[in-house]
Amino acid sequence: MIRPVAATDSKADLVALGASTGIFEPGEAEMLLGDTLDQLQANALGNHHHAFVAVDDATGAIDGWVYFSVMKDTDRVWNLWWIGVAPARQGKGVGRQLMEFVEGFVRQQDGRILLVETSATERLAKTRAVYARLGYTNCGTIPDFYADGDGKVTFWKRIL
């Protein structure tokens, strides 16, 4: 089941899930994800920012979560800011479910395009391959964007 992040969801558990993916450096998950969750909870980001969780129907455990928003000053372009799946659930369709949910949500909001940005490092090669399998087109890399030797790869997909 996919549902909105609720006030009763443990911020610590969601941040820990993010940290467990290995995408973030130590402390980054708390700083980036924790801050985003706080802002969402306070409605400080506005009503076009959304976070959802994938919950295991049998156990009630959160298997993954996703955060996305419409991009200001664009014609119905949305950005997937973050998606994370618990390592034990990776490769079991949770990420695909979350991506299909986001695409459906964006489509219902009359969104035209969904962007996904990720690191160009080797450790995220599998992630980039997943986006390609899901029909996203790699539209470019900005070298050294995140840090020296760590570029930003942007993928896009037409939703409408």
Instruction: Provide the CATH number for the domain around residue 47.
Output: 3.40.630.30
C-alpha 99 chain-centroid distance: 8
pLDDT average, residue stretch 27-39: 86
Number of domains in the chain: 1
Measured CA to CA, the distance from residue 129 to residue 158 in angstroms comes to 18
pLDDT of residue 83: 94
pLDDT band at 1 (very low <50, low <70, confident <90, very high): very high
Mean pLDDT of the chain: 94
pTM for this predicted structure: 0.92
pLDDT of residue 85: 94
pLDDT average, residue stretch 54-78: 96
Give me the domain span that covers residue 112.
2-158
**Nearest to 159, CA basis, from 65, 76, 54:** 76
